[in-house]
Amino acid sequence: MRVARYYSNDDIREDEMLKPIIGPGEFLVKVKKSGICGSDILEYYRKAKMKKLGVNSLILGHEIAGEIVEISETIKHLKVGDRVFVSHHVPCFECHYCKQGHHTACNLLHNTNFDPGGFAEYVRVPKINIEKKGVYVLDKNVSYEEAVFIEPLGCVCRAQRLAKVKKGFTVLILGCGASGLLNIQLAKLRGAKKVIATDINEFRLQKAKEFGADIIFHASEDLPEEIKKINKYRLADIVIVCTGAVSAANQALECASPGSKIIFFAVPEPWVYLNVPINKYWRNEITIMTSYGAAPEDLDEAYNWILSKRINVVDLITHRFPLSKAGEAFKTVCEAGESIKVILEPEEE
């Protein structure tokens, strides 16, 4: 089968490998659509993983939707021909972290995956992913392209659930890529009174307006002052950082109102440290928090939003590439010009 092999952001090669062989309790998915996630282009992270594994390349891709084409006879609740979304990570539901509601901190979640990765024609889904609620059979009204967004939207659902975004809040979203635009839509559905969005890219700023942001600002502006002007001298109740830019992380620290929460959905590189005005935060009871990945309940919520059509995901797709042009697709994502969501289509005519 054909795969797209990752060596670096500017070195993606089409390759051939044997189609995975399923074992007991497993099934094989023919990948129809596979989204490129912002985390796929975190080169420092990918190279560190390659070093840890002792390899010089990876087959990435975790936002997949496809069709079951082979299935173990021990699986009774699924069948060949089922259209599915499959989660690459699943929690154990039994450890200390899972019991505390921190499923994405679970050791199992960090050590499960499918084989080899979503940038391939076929993916083998391990038994554990099936047993731990990692498979969704798609309703006939959910397309493969919509299903690609179950995982990224699930991550957004988790972030806003942890931050307790609710009616009447002013929500500030820094970064208007795919995750930022999903956060805008979900914040509005959760009843946010004002959703303010920033970016350095004019194309993405206009997309933010298109997808429901009440107010947009270029990230170079004096954001705290601008927010005060439009918000009765009050800063944001919830600040969601959707970019790894250090400037945005520092800007977030300046835009938090007393009693507010800053949630880092995206983070700078691991060697970056932020200077937190802790005395001011102590006095104002400001919470700094993080959100990583999605637990099954978050994926459930995401799937229901997509099924109901209340969150527009398909219009976030700006580019579609065949697997043979994965290198061009990665270049498009990295350049971040007039692109939002880039999709690979392994099945070529």
pLDDT on residue 347: 76
pLDDT on residue 172: 98
The whole-number average pLDDT for the span 45-67 is 95
Q: How far is CA 239 from the centre of its chain?
A: 17
pLDDT on residue 203: 97
Full 3-state SS string of 16-62: ECCCCCCCCCCEEEEEEEEECCHHHHCHHHHHHHHHHHCCCCECCCC
Distance CA 64, CA 29 (A): 10
Whether the per-residue pLDDT at 348 is higher than 90: the answer is no
Whether the per-residue pLDDT at 325 is higher than 60: the answer is yes
Q: How far is CA 142 from the centre of its chain?
A: 19
Structural contact between residues 238 and 264, judged by C-beta atoms closer than 8 angstroms: no
pLDDT tens column, 3-50: 999 999 999 999 999 999 999 999 999 999 999 999 999 999 999 999
pLDDT tens column, 190-209: 999 999 999 999 999 999 99
The whole-number average pLDDT for the span 323-331 is 96
Distance CA 113, CA 117 (A): 8
pLDDT tens column, 89-105: 999 999 999 999 999 99
Whether the per-residue pLDDT at 349 is higher than 60: the answer is no
Q: Which domains does the chain have, with CATH numbers?
A: 2-149+313-345 (3.90.180.10), 156-290 (3.40.50.720)
Distance CA 258, CA 74 (A): 55
The mean pLDDT value of the chain amounts to: 96
Proportion of the chain above pLDDT 70, given as a percent: 99
Residue 168 backbone zone (phi > 0: left; psi -120 to 50: alpha; other: beta): left
DSSP state of 292: -
Distance CA 224, CA 239 (A): 12
Whole-prediction pTM value?
Answer: 0.96
pLDDT tens column, 217-249: 999 999 999 999 999 899 999 999 999 999 999
Q: Name the strand (E) or helix (H) holding 96.
A: helix 96-99
Q: Which of 97, 87, 116, 144 is nearest to 16 (CA)?
A: 116
The CA radius of gyration of the chain, in Å to the nearest whole number, is 20
Distance CA 171, CA 240 (A): 8
pLDDT on residue 152: 98
Q: How many other C-beta atoms lie within 10 A of the C-beta of residue 53? A: 9
pLDDT on residue 6: 97
pLDDT tens column, 104-153: 999 999 999 999 999 999 999 999 999 999 999 999 999 999 999 999 99
pLDDT on residue 87: 96
Structural contact between residues 115 and 1, judged by C-beta atoms closer than 8 angstroms: no
